[in-house]
Amino acid sequence: MLKSIEGNFDNIKVHNLLVKHFIELRSVSPEGSAHVLDIAGLKSFSIKFWSLWEGEELMGVGALKFINKTHGEFKSIRVNDKLRNKGYGLQIINHLINEAKKLNIEQLSLETGSGIFFQNARNLFTKCGFKTCEPFSHYKKDLNSVYMNMLISN
């Protein structure tokens, strides 16, 4: 059974996974096209962050940023590297969708990279019902970004 913990930034496993995530995404994103938040950014009052666990094993992390009362954005979704390609990404996304429903979010959006590195993420988001869209919120058209959204019903 998966356990979800909100916050938990002080846990060394969570901290290390996030730092690896930040470094990796910045290394594969051109200057000005990396939209990953650091830990301080994830601690914003407008963001809810969860770590997901299976026993003592950190499965992954994900965050939901409130754009407004009914529109949320996924941020910092990351699966533990040794657990990739085992369905955990889908579980993280489903967890975030369920949390968004509890918070009365009606629309979810996300930004991800357009390069080959991000292809698996784009495929997973499409499988979950996301469709490509125009830039939202503060984002601008960028050849290095793909914007996606979905409507959810409570």
Q: What is the pLDDT of residue 154?
A: 65
Per-residue pLDDT of the chain (154 residues; tens, 9 = 90+): 679 999 999 999 999 999 998 788 777 776 776 777 788 889 999 999 999 999 999 999 999 999 999 999 999 999 998 888 888 999 999 999 999 999 999 999 999 999 999 999 999 999 999 999 999 999 999 999 999 999 998 6
In sequence order, which ranges of the chain are alpha helices (DSSP H)? 12-28, 39-42, 88-102, 119-127
- How many other CB atoms sit within 10 Å of the CB of residue 30? 11
